[in-house]
A and B are shown apart, each in its own frame.
Chain A
Amino acid sequence: MKFRYFLSAFSLVFLISFSTQAQVTAIRGVIKSAQQEPIEGAVVTVLSTTLTVLTDANGAYELNNVEPGNLQLEITADKFDTMRYEVIVVAGSVSTADVVLARSEELSGSKDAIPTISLADDDFRESSQNISGVLSASRDIFVSAASYTFGPARFRIRGYDNDNFLTLMNGAPMTDLTSGQSMFYLWGGLNDVTRNRENSTGLAPSTFSYGALGGAYSISSKAANQRKQIQASYSLSNRSYDNRAMITWGSGLLKGGWSVAASMSRRWADEGFTAGTFYDATGYYFSVEKLAGTKHSLSATVMGSPVKRGKSAPSVQEMYNLAGSNFYNPAWGYQNGEKRNASVQNSHQPLTVLQHIWNINKTSNLNTSLSLVAGKNKNSALDWYNAPDPRPDFYRNLPSYITDPVAAAQAAALLASSEAARQINWDALYQANYNSFETITDANGIKGNNVSGKRAHYILENRIADTKQFTLSSVYNKAISDNVSLTAGFSEQNQNTNYYKEVKDLLGADFYVDLNQYAEQDFPDDPSALQNDLNNPNRILKEGDKFGYDYEAHMNRAAGWAQLQLKYSRMDYFAALELSQTSFFRTGNVRNGLFPTNSYGDSEKQSFFNYALKGGATYKLDGRNFVLANLSYLTRAPWFENSFVSVRTRNQVVDGLTDEKIFNLEGGYLLKSPRLKLKAIGYYTQFNDATSTISFYHGDFRTFVNYALTNIDKKHTGVELAAEYPVYKGLTLSAVIAAGQYTYTSRPLATTTADNSATVLAQNEVIYIENYRVAGTPQTAYTMGINYRSAKFWFVNLNFNYFDNTYIEFNPTRRTINAVDLVEPGSTAWNNILDQQKTDGQFTLDFFGGKSWKLNNHMKGLKKNTFIVLNAGVSNITNNKDFITGGYEQLRFDFETKNPEKFAPKYFYMYGTTYFINLTLRMN
């Protein structure tokens, strides 16, 4: 009874007295094919139990004496894909679970074969990356739409940032502790072996983790979870890559309890959809698992995804217009007639996971995982020293910057007519280096050591993050009674990432020098200020040498959690608590000449003790109608990347660094009738006291500054509606609506610090952004889908989508009193400075379809079941090239003229029509 009082304290749900009288608690149902034929002999198993029955000739089954609650059924049948189905069982009543199985030729997971575009492939580890990539294969209508259909529009579930979702690989948390982002890119291209997933959406409890605000995803890629088969596929596309080949083999359970699985994939393109981009990615995977008796399973899985790709960069509309294309890419230029991209990512971070599953007894199990990620992510960029900015869309190169109208028209005509003028001029960069003969005195810090040669004005640098992450986590599940189950766990994550720069290419020069040209300009009389590394002054750099900044992020997070689930006939409850300790510090490996006293060595260690608690209740009107409400409150340590004023140069921590506080309420209604499926969820999330740091050139202070924003509050509210209805044999209609409003609810405070002197230029300047919108996602997204699935093993699907209320990321310095100094309130100039830009709402139309053939029907000689599957998808059929899916205002603002167009916003556009054709051969 005490527990009931506790629940009533934080649950908004009306408390209904629940009865616990013993009656028959059972699941009954019929298993049919998509063509409504009953399937005989299908095996229906209640997961995590030993309950198993076979279906009769009518496809019917009955599972008696099941425990109430949300149960997972697994249905396997020969020639059909294995299906998992969740059923909510009310104590004392009989629940119905009619399940339609897809023939294995029919590809129940057919959607997986066509990857969505905005995912890991394109936005590989950019901050714009969204969660949808991890959601694939979900059977939840809403989640499925959020990942496939809304993905290309950069849709984010509930507008949440990536750090509000949790991903586990074979039980190990895959969170990058610098930013809280899930590291999906670790298994890029390994689609075949990462399909086996469990999801918990929102605050819902799960058996594998405490979870996260937006949901948790547990991927199981170990060998025993891979189907016994060999499968090879080839795909043709015109997206970020043009070709993809995959081959995957699973041994199935071998003698002695062993299973082995392996997979390889290649994705490549000489030039992707965007000019100047290329793609060269490999995926590899190997897993071995040993079942020891019935109680122990031990697996080791290694995977990696080495990627090398030329990236594209967003630009200003002026350049898009001059280029005549919204897919203009300023990141490349011609060199000797070949396209060369300056912005190349080169990444390889292998992941190893050891997993031990111990089924202790009928009611309890313990799952322990150990993971290791180690490897580098390199991103190249141009760097220059005492030379003009080489970027073709630099603001001084734009016609709009030129005041003389005749000269501006000439510049515009040149940029419009000459592709070379719009792109990087590599030849000019080489020439500048060839003509630069200089002598460096006291080179490498040695008195009298003079080095002469071609000193580089331009180089290609690599910005490198070298990560080592180790995690240990363990989850214990225990069914305490028929009604009560306990889940508890702990995790220890330890990460060390070394950030530094490296000379990638001297572009024809003999050497580069490790000096800070801005410090040289600002402090001409201080010979030590310009040294990036005072301990190694005037260092001569060759290709491959480290330079610039070099620091390590040391991070540790230890957490323990427990969750109690109570399931009764009318009501389910859960409550969970997590306690965690996060600590981090910075270690500088170089002594920066500007900050000799606080750039080298360890920073003060930052420690945060945090808690998270959540709870919820589900009221079951009957076996089909459910009402639920969940509530959560948590505090969260700031991420490493937001905690230092200027993490590249020094150990100075942001003033007033504090925990973020998050309150979340979600609730809704679910209908799971045999035909109509309906989901309506509302949510209200309040984020308080977030911190963020950025560095940029400040137009008012006329210097490069570090900007620390504190006291950032946001409110995310909205509804998620999803419905699916089978209209007629094989024809299904679906509709999904995600309508949210994500706004800032505070006026954050900005502290501006000069990057070169640590002088505080402005303390706690108020940023007036209350009710500004959270950018980077459509806040409303709609889709209507028509799906037809034929008995002849083919299907087609058409989705009509509409996206609206996408906002452009705003520049905080433009929302200050200084930015509108002496500007007439309400005037055009005033509005131009302050208004947050909303992009136009857009329609898109997507198609996908597929067909499969069983070769055994045609070639009797085949011993194994052999299938050929053809899938094709066409996205954005109407070739809408005006769809701005996001963008940001440049952080530089001209405080003199107050003309925001001088540093105009940069936009991302959605690709025009793209296709993806996939052919798979499968033998099992």
Chain B
Amino acid sequence: MIKLLQKIGVGIAALLLVFTMPGCVKDEFDAPPAGGQDPNITATHTIAQLKALYTGATLQLTNDIIIVGVVTADDKSGNFYKTMVIQDATGGISIRLDQSNYYTKFPIGRRVFVKCKGLYIGEYRKLIQLGGSIDNTDPQNPTPSTIPSTLVSTYLVGGKYGIVTAPVHVSIQALHADPVGFINTYQSMLVKFDTVEFAAADTSRTYADAVSKLSVNRNLTNCTNNSIIVRTSGYSNFASRITPAGNGSLVAIMSVFSTGIPDATKAQLLLRDENDVRMSNLRCNSVPPPPGSLITIAALRAMYAGTTMTVPAGNKIKGIVITDKDNGNITAKNLILQDSTGGIVVRFTANNSFVMNSEIELSIGGMELSTFSGQLQLNNVPNANATQTGTGTVTPKVATISQIITNFNAWESTLVKIMNTTITGTSGTTYGSTSGNRTLNDGTGTLILYTQTAASFANTNHPTGSVSVTGILVPFNTTKEIVLRNLSDVQ
């Protein structure tokens, strides 16, 4: 038996020796390379050479002209409709094709081989285009019309995809210096403007009219007030988005729209989508924010140890103005600033102009931190120490009077809202024509509602029923008071 096993062992060993079976088991299945492949087609013309063939009269291309370019604009966002823009090293050109959602086949970044023989080259309002036939609707201005859908694949052959075309950096100044030359050079090319912003009147507005599906022009300006139109279709998927208020860069296809008067070419920019706009910097000519490091209002209040002191240098705070100077229920030199941690009175050296809901930054280094009638304030702050950085709102904290009394010190100079309270007065039914003190009672406790005689609503009668009251908590020495901003605070 052992002998037999030995022989089997020898046999199997010999088998392994003899039969060197390739043991590597490849489990990796094949896959085609991603990114597509270029067809075996060679360009005969650059795009610039092709465009040069057009000398003012629409013309059918009868030679075997082939151009190769990379798609720089497609119809994915809807801002380009039945129009594709391709670009090579020498320039860009628009191609009209009667196919919607062609981006599924020819997206931005795909190399496209255009077999031009049989196509027409012409212009629409000075924009040079390739098309499938001539549109003679306006006999004075024949324009190339779209390539029929079924013929698209015979003229356009897709190649590799995922190719990034870097935009050309240009400036609005250059456009203004030589509009015709600029347009000729950059027409249908992907361009990028740096340090530009939407004109003040066009900030925070929609790119286009998405409701009525109308195109809208917005002005893009540089810091020397030169401008260019950004035109957006009401059909684009970002038509209802808001233009940014900041300053930055904008990438677009350089286009043109001539009104017909000789040489009255008008440059316009067409965005591919909203991502072409990157404007988060400060606008031109805006005052730089004050130097220093930002601390919270709570941190500032915590510095105060009971006696007048000077805030250490290098600090600033940022908050929203919760007082409404326009309704006069606050001294004109003062405002109250609140951030997410607390609020504080700022008393400027002169009357201030910050309206309610302004977001401001304030340099406080060296300022006096003291109390006035028991309320903490930054005193004698030069008006130049404050800079508006934007706008914002503060949502009042909803609380009962009992909670307010308990937390009064912590909540001092912040906005609160009391629900279901009554307003009663011992000296009249107005908010403050004679004496400013009225009493709020929500069933949990009472609180003084104080209104200055200078307030715009001082002579208005207060309601007698149950209302909600929003206001700022203001101490008057040891009295706990609430101060309205305007009549909207009583609902």
Contacts and interface: CB of A to CB of B under 8 A. Distances in A.
Contact of A665 (B4, B12, B19, B27): B19
A621 B11 contact: yes
A493 interface: no
Interface in A671-686: 671, 673, 678, 680, 682, 684
Given A682-B19, A684-B22, A627 B11 contact: yes
Interface string B48-87: 0000000000000000000000000000000000000000
Interface in B1-44: 4, 7-8, 10-12, 14-15, 17-22, 25-34, 36-37
Given A12-B18, A717-B21, A680 B12 contact: yes
Interface stretch (A105-113, A595-603, A819-827, A905-913): A819-827
B10 A817 contact: no
Contacts of B110: 822
Contacts of B15: 627, 667-669, 680, 682
A629 B18 contact: yes
B29 A835 contact: yes
Interface string A820-843: 111101000010001110000000
Contacts of B107: 822
B144 interface: no
Contacts of A12: 18-20
A830 B33 CA distance: 11
B113 interface: no
Nearest to B21: A682
A744 B4 CA distance: 41
A822 B26 contact: no
Contacts of B4: 673
Contact of A817 (B11, B18, B26, B33): B33
Contacts of A819: 32
B12 A669 contact: yes
B8 to A, nearest CB: 6
Q: A766, A771, A823 — which one has the most chain B CB atoms within 10 A of its CB?
A: A771
B104 interface: yes
A836 B28 CA distance: 11
Contacts of B198: none
B28 to A, nearest CB: 6
Contacts of A669: 11-12, 14-15
B73 to A, nearest CB: 17
Classify chain A's interface size.
35 or more
B158 interface: yes
B321 to A, nearest CB: 49
A621 B32 contact: no
A625 B19 contact: no
A201 interface: no
Nearest to A629: B18
A13 B14 CA distance: 9
A627 B32 contact: no
B161 A627 contact: no
A629 B19 contact: yes
A770 B19 contact: no
A684 B18 contact: no
B11 A625 contact: yes
B22 A717 contact: yes
A768 interface: yes
A771 B26 contact: yes
A671 B8 contact: yes
A619 B22 contact: no
Contacts of B21: 682, 684, 717, 719
A747 B31 CA distance: 10
B18 to A, nearest CB: 5
Given A627-B18, A822-B36, A834-B31, A741 B10 contact: no
Interface string A759-799: 00000001011111000000000000000000000000000
Nearest to B20: A12
A747 B30 contact: yes
A743 interface: yes
Contacts of B22: 684, 715, 717
A815 B33 CA distance: 10
A744 B19 CA distance: 22
Interface string A737-749: 0000101100100
Given A12-B18, A680-B15, A682-B15, A621 B10 contact: yes
Contact of B34 (A719, A766, A820): A820
Contacts of B27: 771
Given A619-B14, A665-B19, A822-B161, A817 B25 contact: no
Contacts of B30: 744, 747, 768-772, 815
A819 B21 CA distance: 35
A668 B19 contact: yes
Contact of B29 (A624, A629, A682, A772): A772
Given A621-B7, A622-B7, A671-B11, A743 B26 contact: yes
Interface in B231-280: none
Contacts of B29: 771-772, 834-836
Nearest to A665: B19
A815 B32 CA distance: 7
Contacts of B104: 822
A668 B19 CA distance: 7
A816 interface: yes
B150 to A, nearest CB: 10
A768 B7 contact: no
A821 B7 contact: no
A500 B28 CA distance: 44
B168 to A, nearest CB: 26
A829 B18 CA distance: 45
Nearest to A673: B4
B19 A741 contact: no
A573 to B, nearest CB: 14
Q: B11, B20, B27 — which one has the most chain A CB atoms within 10 A of its CB?
A: B11
Contacts of A825: 31, 34
Nearest to B14: A627
A902 B110 CA distance: 27
A726 B61 CA distance: 87
A744 B107 CA distance: 34
A741 B23 CA distance: 10
B158 A821 contact: yes
Contacts of A719: 21
A819 B30 CA distance: 14
A682 B18 CA distance: 10
A801 B29 CA distance: 28
Q: Which 6 A-B pairs have the closest CB atoms?
A: A667-B19, A770-B30, A825-B34, A669-B11, A682-B19, A669-B15
7 contacts: A625-B8, A625-B11, A627-B14, A673-B4, A766-B32, A825-B34, A834-B29
Given A621-B10, A626-B11, A836-B29, 12 more contacts: A12-B20, A621-B11, A627-B11, A684-B19, A768-B31, A771-B28, A817-B33, A819-B32, A820-B31, A821-B36, A822-B110, A834-B31
Interface of A: 12-14, 619, 621-622, 624-629, 665-669, 671, 673, 678, 680, 682, 684, 715, 717, 719, 741, 743-744, 747, 766, 768-772, 815-817, 819-823, 825, 830, 834-836
